Structure 1
Amino acid sequence: MSSHGEPRKVAMVTGAASGIGAAVSALLSEHGWRVAGVDLRKPTSDLALIADVTDQDALREAVDSISHELGPIDLLVTVAGYYEMVPVAEITAQRWWRMLEVHLGGTRNACAVVLPEMLRRNSGQIITISSELALGGGDGDAHYAAAKGAIIGFTKSLAVEVAGKGVRVNSVAPGPTDTPLLEADSPWRDPGFLGTLPLRRLVRPEEVAEAVLFLAEEGSYFCGQVISPNAGAVI
């Protein structure tokens, strides 16, 4: 229960074990949400679940567990993903489809298993995590940018589909973020690159989490929109 005696809202966060997902989970928890984290590794959250987002049946089981343990899901945040840099000519078919399977497929799978109950209740929110690269492109990560761009198209279409049924859908598209996904020798950490950004630094995971929290708690007028905390990489 909240401090006002109302039931605490329930959030499901995929990719919750580290980086942006862990930051989102922690901030939501600080603000009174009951958080179910889903990842390939055990997250730190009110309810920690192991599941692969490419396996829709596993996600359906996770949703059943969340509903049983915490209650109906009020908010879904789809963070699960990975990053790699590969020149276009070296992107094999396997690499191409795996990137789409995890990012776009994982987002679709999570939405598909969470939406039925949200629609039944005429209430709920979905926040997808895309990338600034979907907006501005990048050098050496076309398959990643394509998958993240597809998430934006998916988000906007789903928002139109369910807005009249009480469910809001939006996206957060972070710029280069200081998480383990960026190796120590990543070009995104190079001082020369950082010097091209208006803010001269990487985005922090906690700042991305704040954008998610804003949409979840204050942005009731946002529908099918993309917020991009990116240190000025795309203006």
Structure 2
Amino acid sequence: MTRIAVITGAASGIGAAVATTLADHGWTVAGLDLVPTPHTSYHVVADVSDSDSVTQAIRSVQRDVGLIDTLVTAAGHYSTAPVSQITGDAWNRMLRVHLGGLRNTAHAVLPQMRGRGRGSIIAISSELAIGGGDGEAHYAAAKGAVIGFVRSLAAEVAPHGVRVNSIAPGPTDTPMLAPDSPWRAPEYLATLPARRLCRPDEVARTVQFLLEEADFCTGEVLSPNSGAVI
């Protein structure tokens, strides 16, 4: 049976790793991103923060690929600033991309998932949603809102056979972390029990676990974070 997954943010980082891992395990993967996604067999250029753009993208996948079994929302962006320097535009953009992107894509796929009586949504959050971080209030707030949305939506759609979960990685070795990021500093890595950043493929395997080995889970938050939060 063909299994179809839509991955947002599939062009790079965690999204690309998820797309590659699922494809290696027999999934047909469609990528949604602001740029083409070379790691997927089908892609649509779309802005996840734009509801109309997402609706059209999901319709394209359903028309050209088939009905969607899984949605993984990995699209996001990252910036740091003390609260006194977070502009209204920066605050709103963080929420539009992370929380709005999850809402928009979930809203687009849920009718067909409920209609079939099955489906899975996995949202990539962050361990900063759990532990917070100096200079990262807007990012942590957006990722924390993702977890609240996931838990509420999981309760709402479970009777329809749809599972909703979240993965909250610790600092992960992706291009989102600049070479001079404090999360890459040896002094920070020395504070982690694992002494290293997470790898994108490790996050991707956590996605695979929720999809293929943990079909009893819904409303859960798994946090592969090298021991950053214990």
TM superposition score category, shorter chain reference: over 0.9
Letter paired with 2:221: V
What is the CA distance between 1:49 and its match in structure 2?
Answer: 1.0
Match of 1:214 among 184, 187, 209: 209
Match of 1:112 among 95, 98, 107: 107
Match of 1:25 among 19, 24, 35: 19
Question: Counterpart of 2:195?
Answer: 200
Moved segments of 4+, more than 6 Å: none
Q: Give the alignment's Cα RMSD to 1 decimal.
A: 0.6
Taking the TM superposition and a 5 Å limit, the aligned residue runs for 1:55-134 are: 55-134=50-129
Match of 1:166 among 156, 161, 165: 161
Q: Secondary structure at the match of 2:32?
A: strand
Match of 1:40 among 34, 48, 57: 34
1:60-80 CA distance string (max 9 Å, x none): 111111112211000000010
Aligned length: 229
Q: Secondary structure at the match of 2:123?
A: strand
Question: Counterpart of 1:175?
Answer: 170
CA distance in structure 1 between the partners assigned to 2:83 and 2:50 by the alignment: 27
- Structure 1 unaligned spans of 5+: 1-6
1:125-183 CA distance string (max 9 Å, x none): 00001000000011111000000000000000000000010000000000000000000
- Structure 2 unaligned spans of 5+: none
Match of 2:142 among 127, 140, 147: 147
What is the CA distance between 1:48 and its match in structure 2?
Answer: 1.2
What is the CA distance between 1:222 and its match in structure 2?
Answer: 0.7
CA distance in structure 1 between the partners assigned to 2:58 and 2:135 by the alignment: 36
CA distance in structure 2 between the partners assigned to 1:104 and 1:91 by the alignment: 18
Question: Counterpart of 1:185?
Answer: 180
Q: Secondary structure at the match of 1:193?
A: helix
CA distance in structure 2 between the partners assigned to 1:43 and 1:195 by the alignment: 35
What is the CA distance between 1:94 and its match in structure 2?
Answer: 1.1
Using the size of structure 2 for normalisation, the TM-score is 0.99
Using the size of structure 1 for normalisation, the TM-score is 0.96
Tell whether 2:132 aligns with 1:137. yes
Q: Secondary structure at the match of 1:81?
A: coil
Match of 1:230 among 218, 222, 225: 225
